[in-house]
Amino acid sequence: MPELPEVETVRRGLAPVFEGGRFSRVEVRRPDLRVPFPPGFARRLKGRSVTKLARRAKYLVATLDDGASLLIHLGMSGSLRIGRGIEEERPGTFHHPRSKDSAHDHVVFHMEGGTRVTFNDPRRFGLMDLVRGDPEASPHLAGLGAEPLGETFDAALLARLFAGRASPLKAALLDQRLIAGLGNIYVAEALWRARLAPARAAGTLATATGRPAAAAGRLVTAIRGVLEDAIAAGGSSLRDHVQADGSLGDFQHAFAVYDREGAPCPRPGCRGTILRTVTSGRSTFACSACQR
DNA sequence: ATTGGCGCCTGAAAGC
DNA sequence: TGCTTTCAGGCGCCAA
């Protein structure tokens, strides 16, 4: 759920608070999320300042002034709230509308100056870790594939990654070891934009010599485009979010196929209908007419 | 070595 | 109306 665009939206909302800020105290209200907090988590954060808040795939990476890094993954239902005093607002997250329940406020970062950042995660699929040295070398990030918004992500790279793979495009795109940051929603949207069927073999995007097929270029453009559009929409939802009912962000209204089973395909001239199929127990949405 | 499937976890929605 | 069941999915793990 929080996929790359949602995490980037959260990063942008949180950066003004974290960057240059210092943790006066960190409250950890349970021993674990999806995995245990590392030993001494709260103690090691206390007194540290954040020099930079970055994003890698779906991870937030806060660089600390002692050289360590705080990693935060939102899982499926994680959100971060910024507040001081009684009032709090969310910097823009993908969370459940009524999950404001403080019973799920698992971590509270108290910043010097009085601002609070509260991590809420009803389903506890999120995780936090504290790693020393280069965070890219940490177990969480080391195995991640290409950053889809990075400069090196192009048709040639995609063709190399997918060459020889018999697995469906959908599975290949969801594999974080190949391309990192896409989830079920944006994979569906990107494949629709590229007019590619989810079940098509990933290897068909490369020629026999390993060069990119035309479809590889379309897919790269589609991935970048859908992520950029979603980030732009998430950003715009930030303002609304303050008075918010907890909606996803504007981009949900722009879905072409995701969660639109039975709807007419929105592609001009296409008379197809959006179909929902289930693969590995997961919903897949696509137009059977224009996606090949 | 890849690739598919399961289960974690909770709340919303659908079903009876 | 109220209870029960299903579904959502990121990701680690296991199995074929």
A105 CB less than 7 Å from any atom of strand C: no
Question: Residues A94, A99, A102, A108: what is their CA dihedral angle, to the nearest 10 degrees?
Answer: -10
Would the pLDDT of A60 be above 80?
Answer: yes
Length of chain A: 292
Residue A2 annotated to the active site: yes
Q: Cα A275 to the chain's mean position, in Å? A: 25
A174 CB less than 7 Å from any atom of strand C: yes
A252 CB less than 7 Å from any atom of strand C: no
Question: Protein A74 CA to nucleic acid C10 C1', in Å?
Answer: 9
Residue A8 annotated to the active site: no
pLDDT in tens, A75-105: 888 888 888 765 555 555 444 333 346 888 9
pLDDT in tens, A197-246: 998 999 999 988 889 999 999 999 999 999 999 888 874 443 333 223 33
Residue % of chain A over a pLDDT of 70: 88
Residue with tokens 């990476």: A61
Question: Protein A230 CA to nucleic acid B6 C1', in Å?
Answer: 31
What are residue A227's phi and psi, to 5 degrees?
-70, -45
Query: What pLDDT is recorded for position A2?
Result: 80
A11 CB less than 7 Å from any atom of strand C: no
Q: What is the mean pLDDT of residues A51-66?
A: 94
- Helical residues (DSSP H) of chain A, grouped into ranges: 4-18, 41-45, 139-142, 155-162, 169-174, 184-193, 214-241
Strand C nucleotides, any atom under 7 Å to a protein CB: 7-12
Question: Protein A165 CA to nucleic acid B9 C1', in Å?
Answer: 33
Q: Cα A200 to the chain's mean position, in Å? A: 24
Residue A3 annotated to the active site: yes
pLDDT in tens, A252-272: 778 899 888 889 999 999 999
Q: Which residues pair with A49 in a beta bridge?
A: A22
Residue A273 to residue A82: CA distance in whole angstroms:
42
Residue A16 annotated to the active site: no
Q: Which of A44, A56, A58, A90 is catalytic?
A: A58
pLDDT in tens, A113-128: 999 999 988 888 889 9
Please state the pTM of the whole predicted model: 0.90
Q: Cα A151 to the chain's mean position, in Å? A: 18
Strand B nucleotides, any atom under 7 Å to a protein CB: 2-6, 8-12
Residue with tokens 């177990």: A139
Residue A284 to residue A292: CA distance in whole angstroms:
14
**Residue A236 near residue A244, CB atoms below 8 Å:** no
